[in-house]
Structure 1
Amino acid sequence: MSPIRDLLDIDYVGRYKLIEQVGVGGFAVVYRAVDPYIGRELAVKVSSLEDVADDRSSQQSFLRKLFIEAEAAGKLLHPNIVTIFDVGIQEPYYYIAMEFMNGRNLKYHCHPEQKLSTADAIDTVIKVCHGLDYAHQRGVVHRDIKSTNIMLGNKGEIKIADFGLAYMDAVEESKLPFAGTPSYMAPEQLRRETPTVQSDLYSLGVVLYEILAMQKPFFSKKEKDLEHMIQEEEHVPIQKINAEIPESLSRVIDRALEKKPHDRYPDALSFARDLEAVLKDGGKTLAPDLVEKIKMLKPLSFFADFSDEEMSNILQIGTWMKYSAGEMIVAQTEQDVSFFVIISGGCEAQKERKRLGQMGRGQCFGEISFLLGSERTATVSARTECQLLKLNPKKIDILPLETQVKLYRSFAKNLAQHLLAADQRAVDY
């Protein structure tokens, strides 16, 4: 029996208890699992050398790929990258323990009935750009950006998965197997040249094209024909496939898909900035869903002094999240400096199981961690089904200065109200 099939019958790998199978790849099975030492839910990717090849040379190549993945991805700690926790060996298996993403990958939205709005597609790619920029600055090139490697969490998270093909500057190219997915690969990758930052940005351009046009810029059942098209032919302008795409967005995609690396974006942040400009310039005609969210913000006292354009900018750097009643939003002692604005529903704060109070629509929480950069001082859970806007201080810094001032003014007003309420509770007590 093939060892990869044997994986269906195991209950533990290393110290991790395997709960259920959630995915199968060419050389791996992915499980939802639990770390019994700390009670953390995670994903465990298990591989078998015997399922790769019988000869030692091919097995060693697989091992190199496995440990390069662990070395590269284990150094990347970013909200838009799936976190790697551990790597280990349990003969004849090799495994990687990583963050569990409760949701689906972006490929789900590459079908007409599940198509994202243009604004949501752009917002998704902007967040991927931020994750890639973080990795690139640390010498890591993903090498296999594609829609199935971009994970969408049920709470609005967007994360890059599978740095299994990552290339570290410090690792000799001869130690890496040729890898990637041809229809997403840059021309230089198909020529077996060393992948660079621009190779990842090309692949991300393919992803953006795919989720807007419902097809990739180049496709063929014959791999040789596909490679020729990618290297020699021009892609069909996306506006000819989707007439709703604005010219400004078409230009961004065209630049990302340039044949020569030096003609593409110099870095992921430049790519993101141009996409942000498209959102800003596109306004209401570009993002009907954005308009609906702005309508939900307008009645809130927190956003009373903001224009539609300012609220649009804030929505683009924030994360819109939904929680069910009773679901934990932040945990006491958790390391996170974001703060939250309650858009609808209500929340409740507790400290060491003692109830601190309730919060409702238009209020915000997380101020102490936001201001001091410290761990959470209380646990906050959804009292009812609710929607929240999560804002990170680093992303606030990219907003126009006037918008930042208004945001901090609303933030300070909300904090003052919290302090007054706390004083009143102390007097009543």
Structure 2
Amino acid sequence: MKSSSHSTLHNRNVENRPIPSEYFSGNDYKKYTDENPKQCQASSSHSNADLITNHLNETTAAVKTANGTRQHQWTINDFEVGAPLGRGRFGHVYCVREKKSKYIVALKAIIKDQISTPRLAKQLISEISIQSRLKHPNILRLYGFFHDDQRIFLLLEYAPGGELYRRMQKEKILRESEAAGYVYQLCNALSYLHSKQIIHRDIKPENILIGVYGILKLADFGWSAERTETNKRTTLCGTLDYLAPEMLNGSGYDEKIDLWCLGVFTYEMIVGKPPFDSQTQQDTIRLIRTNELSFPQAASNHARDLISQLIRRNPSERMPLNEVIQHQWIIENANMKAIDENYEKINKSTLMNHKNEN
């Protein structure tokens, strides 16, 4: 059984199947419940969903109190629903357009009855809490949220380029100039996250989207966690090919696991597969723990050097982000000037930003 892209802790090949109509139509939802009573029975999932909706209500009330102004209360009727964009651990995502402004966003829909455990409820609360306060050009924005009796909706920034993973599946290997540009941008995103004491914990091409002007967008904060000064994290989470050895060993970890993932991500972009790809999960785990890293001849010396300084067994020996963006491979390959100019274009942005922040 393959580890890479075939058998991971979370399946990397999630099919982009059409999304059931019950996610958006009240009448269709009733029809769905009538035809599928076993799937929609009242259960403990109601109380799990209540944890989330109570959190959303409290957050909305707190924002309203802090701003002293009444915020627009979104409903699904404010949007024209377009094509499905994908599906994730917590829900399905559509491209939608806000009717008045014609502004396009991505709308993630989650049916409350599918939140089956308190752990999932708390994880979703954490995702919303973290992503809603992040504002950086290389991080996918969470503009807002709302809910009704059956569903929870998250308003997300629309990334027209889609998942980087889909492109890598098609092209197999990216040019080093392009890969270096993505590494530069991901370093900027991670520097911002780590300054906020947040660990992403699930960096991989599936969680990298391409926005306007080709800007990288780090997405999916479902496994993200806040770093504490006193205790290291111990949760085993993420995708097998990207797991750092300290996470596998259960010895506790901090934000330096993101540096390991950055190295694996860089390797996969320029080689076409993760560095510890193997026939079985057991072999992949062994290779990660022993750090048996090898490169094809086509990989440049500078790329090998950078990756080797990120994929280190000892977390304290991994190259820090401020040094990564000054590495010779980045300097020679990434068009940092063009990327920084695109940042300026984004900063001038958008109607949705003004609508939600004023």
Regarding TM over 0.5, the answer is yes
- In structure 2, what is the equivalent of residue 10 of structure 1? 25
Alpha-carbon distance between aligned partners in 2 of 1:33 and 1:128, rounded to the nearest angstrom: 27
**TM-score normalised over the length of structure 2:** 0.69
Matched, 1:248 2:302: yes
Matched, 1:278 2:329: yes
Which residue among 162, 176, 188 is the counterpart of 1:130?
188
**TM-score normalised over the length of structure 1:** 0.59
Verify the 8 A CA contact 1:29 1:47 in the aligned structure 2: yes
Secondary structure class of the residue paired with 2:134: coil
Q: 1:142 and 1:16, CA in 2 relative to 1: closer, same or farther beyond 3 A?
A: farther
- Partner deviation per Cα, 1:200-245 (whole Å, 9 max, x = no partner): 1111111110010011101235333322221224121x2xx1x343
Verify the 8 A CA contact 2:23 2:110 in the aligned structure 1: no
Alpha-carbon RMSD: 3.3
Alpha-carbon distance between aligned partners in 2 of 1:149 and 1:220, rounded to the nearest angstrom: 22
1:278 is matched by which residue type in structure 2?
A: W
Which residue among 340, 345, 348 is the counterpart of 1:336?
348
Q: Which has the higher contact order (CA 8 A, sep 6+)?
A: 2
- In structure 2, what is the equivalent of residue 265 of structure 1? 319
- In structure 2, what is the equivalent of residue 326 of structure 1? none
Which residue among 275, 282, 291 is the counterpart of 1:224?
282
* Unpaired segments ≥5 residues, structure 2: 1-18, 27-74
- Cα offset, 1:251, TM superposition: 1.1
- Cα offset, 1:273, TM superposition: 1.8
- Cα offset, 1:41, TM superposition: 1.5
Alpha-carbon distance between aligned partners in 1 of 2:231 and 2:24, rounded to the nearest angstrom: 37
- Cα offset, 1:99, TM superposition: 0.5
Which residue among 209, 214, 222 is the counterpart of 1:164?
222
Q: 1:143 and 1:279, CA in 2 relative to 1: closer, same or farther beyond 3 A?
A: closer
- Cα offset, 1:88, TM superposition: 3.1
Alpha-carbon distance between aligned partners in 1 of 2:212 and 2:287, rounded to the nearest angstrom: 37
- In structure 1, what is the equivalent of residue 199 of structure 2? 141
Verify the 8 A CA contact 1:65 1:165 in the aligned structure 2: yes
- In structure 2, what is the equivalent of residue 314 of structure 1? 337
- Partner deviation per Cα, 1:135-176 (whole Å, 9 max, x = no partner): 110111111000111112352211111122111236998999
- In structure 2, what is the equivalent of residue 357 of structure 1? none
- In structure 1, what is the equivalent of residue 14 of structure 2? none
Higher strand fraction: Structure 1 or Structure 2? 1
Q: 1:162 and 1:7, CA in 2 relative to 1: closer, same or farther beyond 3 A?
A: farther
Alpha-carbon distance between aligned partners in 2 of 1:32 and 1:154, rounded to the nearest angstrom: 15
Alpha-carbon distance between aligned partners in 1 of 2:170 and 2:99, rounded to the nearest angstrom: 42
Q: 1:335 and 1:215, CA in 2 relative to 1: closer, same or farther beyond 3 A?
A: closer
Secondary structure class of the residue paired with 2:222: helix
Identity of aligned residues (%): 23
Secondary structure class of the residue paired with 1:46: strand
2:304 is matched by which residue type in structure 1?
A: S
- In structure 2, what is the equivalent of residue 206 of structure 1? 264
Which residue among 93, 97, 100 is the counterpart of 1:34?
97
* Superposition pairs of residues 61-210 of structure 1, within 5 angstroms: 61-111=119-169, 113=171, 115-153=173-211, 155-169=213-227, 178-210=236-268
Secondary structure class of the residue paired with 1:110: helix
1:143 is matched by which residue type in structure 2?
A: R
Matched, 1:19 2:82: yes
Verify the 8 A CA contact 2:234 2:251 in the aligned structure 1: no
2:325 is matched by which residue type in structure 1?
A: A
Verify the 8 A CA contact 1:65 1:177 in the aligned structure 2: no
Alpha-carbon distance between aligned partners in 2 of 1:182 and 1:83, rounded to the nearest angstrom: 27
Q: 1:5 and 1:313, CA in 2 relative to 1: closer, same or farther beyond 3 A?
A: closer
2:265 is matched by which residue type in structure 1?
A: V
Count of matched residue positions in the alignment of Structure 1 and Structure 2: 284
